């Protein structure tokens, strides 16, 4: 997935400040009054630098428009060697891509953010949120002043003067890392190596990490109550403190048992004796049992597999329609019946390398 992105990585921040920064700046095109817009080739992680909106007509003043201000900021950043772009939230829907249907008959689309008519300035192209260059460049931008960018006079005369606010001493102190708005959260998640994923699945007997395909079919889910807040600032701390709760451990145990039974051909009915390529998958909130490894959502093997595990519709003697989920009985004292998910769902196989 990372190979898909031709990321232009900026040099370390010291190079931007030192005289050697001029060599870097020469590599980044900087043309006044040229529009640089983001595409799906940029990112997936970028820095939100600033956002500009039209004032209400009752308080509007003569001066720079949001588009002009954003354009000047992009030009100023590019002269310093930082690839910067403009983006209108209202344009995201126009760049939405429909990718056809998967084998289960669902439409596949990429989802961009949709919002008002504000125009934002985003900078950088980074493969992960914790990339060292991304972190250093964000911190560099947060410290920038209008004088540093030769924008103070033009913006103040244009009615766009910035005022310091508590906790944000400069105009760009609120800069933060965000995903390319033309990508969905799911797409970006694929680009990030998640140490928690390795921790929870690395030693599993039938680990999802052993799956060589791009997609797999979830047929059973076991949810837990364990939660942890994950964010840019507290991620490492949360990771070190995370401990699965009792219900999550119980779910993981059930997922392992069901996976083992499916691999050993212990399903019931017409499928008795049939073995399945089953995997156990554990994340922060649930454990899952998945079936198969597929290279495409259109794989013809998907629909028949989904039909085996999906809930079956019946009609009672009185004519009422009802559905019953497929199940599997885990031996024990007492035995335990596990109901499969009524509708299997296709997910992408998580990758950690």
pLDDT band at 167 (very low <50, low <70, confident <90, very high): low
Question: Residue 191: its pLDDT value, please?
Answer: 59
Whether pLDDT at 90 is above 70:
no
Contact 256, 204 (CB under 8 A): yes
- pLDDT band at residue 59 under the 50/70/90 scheme: very low
Question: Is 300 a residue whose pLDDT tops 80?
Answer: yes
Tokens representing residue 283 in the block = 């994340």
Q: DSSP letters along 249-267, please?
A: HHHHHHHHHHHHHHHTT--
End-to-end CA distance of the chain: 10
Is it the case that residue 103 has pLDDT exceeding 70?
no
Provide CB contacts within 8 A for 89, sequence distance 6+.
Answer: 113, 114, 115, 116, 117, 118, 120, 181
Say whether pLDDT at 262 is over 50. Answer: yes
Q: CA angle, corner 67, sides to 63 and 69, nearest 5?
A: 55
The pTM score is 0.47
Length in residues, the chain? 353
Instruction: Tell me which of 303 and 24 has the higher pLDDT.
Output: 303
For the ranges 35-39, 119-123, 189-193, 343-347, which has the lowest average pLDDT? 189-193
Highest-scoring range by mean pLDDT, 113-117, 159-163, 165-169, 310-314: 310-314
Backbone conformation region of residue 224, classed left if phi is above 0, alpha if psi is from -120 to 50, else beta? beta
pLDDT of 108 reads 52
Confidence (pLDDT) at 239? 42
Look at residue 139 and tell me whether its pLDDT is greater than 90: yes
Q: Which of 33-37, 102-106, 109-113 has the highest mean pLDDT?
A: 33-37
Please compute the mean of the pLDDT values over residues 24-40 and round it to a whole number. 80
Q: How much is the pLDDT for 2? A: 33
The whole-number average pLDDT for the span 80-95 is 77
* Burial state string for 144-154 with b = 16 or more CB within 10 A and e = fewer than 16: bebeebebeeb
Residue-wise pLDDT tens digits, 215-236: 999 999 987 543 333 344 444 4
Mean pLDDT of 53-68: 64
- Mean pLDDT value across the chain: 75
What is the band of 23 on the pLDDT scale with cuts at 50, 70, 90? very low
> What residues does each domain of the chain span?
2-187, 193-348
């Amino acid at each position: 997935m990372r190979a898909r992105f031709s990321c232009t990585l900026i040099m370390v921040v010291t190079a931007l400040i030192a005289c050697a920064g001029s060599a870097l700046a020469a590599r980044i095109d900087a043309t006044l009054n040229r529009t640089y817009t983001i595409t799906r080739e940029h990112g997936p992680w970028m820095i939100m630098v600033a956002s500009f909106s039209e004032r209400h007509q009752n308080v509007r003043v003569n001066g720079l428009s949001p588009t002009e201000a954003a354009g000047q900021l992009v030009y100023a950043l590019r002269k310093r060697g930082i690839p910067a772009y403009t983006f209108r939230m209202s344009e995201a829907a126009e760049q939405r891509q429909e990718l056809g249907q998967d084998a289960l008959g669902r439409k596949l689309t990429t989802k961009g953010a949709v919002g008002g008519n504000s125009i934002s300035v985003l900078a950088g192209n980074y493969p992960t949120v914790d990339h060292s260059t991304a972190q250093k460049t964000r911190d560099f931008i947060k410290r920038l002043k209008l004088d540093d960018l030769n924008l103070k006079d033009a913006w103040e005369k244009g009615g766009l003067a910035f005022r310091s606010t508590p906790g944000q001493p400069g105009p760009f102190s609120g800069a933060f890392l965000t995903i390319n708005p033309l990508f969905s959260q799911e797409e970006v998640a694929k680009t990030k190596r998640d140490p928690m994923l390795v921790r929870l699945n690395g030693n599993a007997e039938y680990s999802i990490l052993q799956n060589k395909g791009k997609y797999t079919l979830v047929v059973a889910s076991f949810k837990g109550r364990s939660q942890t807040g994950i964010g840019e600032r507290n991620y490492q701390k949360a990771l070190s403190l995370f401990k699965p709760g009792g219900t999550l451990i119980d779910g993981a145990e059930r997922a392992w048992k069901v996976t083992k039974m499916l691999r050993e051909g212990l399903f019931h009915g017409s499928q008795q004796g049939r073995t399945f390529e089953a995997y156990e998958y554990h994340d922060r909130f649930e454990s899952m049992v998945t079936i198969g490894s597929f290279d495409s959502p259109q794989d013809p093997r998907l629909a028949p597999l989904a039909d085996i595990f999906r809930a079956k519709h019946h009609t009672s003697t009185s004519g009422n329609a009802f559905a019953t989920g497929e199940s599997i009985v885990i031996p024990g004292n007492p035995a335990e019946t596990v109901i499969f998910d009524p509708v299997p769902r296709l997910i992408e196989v998580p990758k950690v390398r």
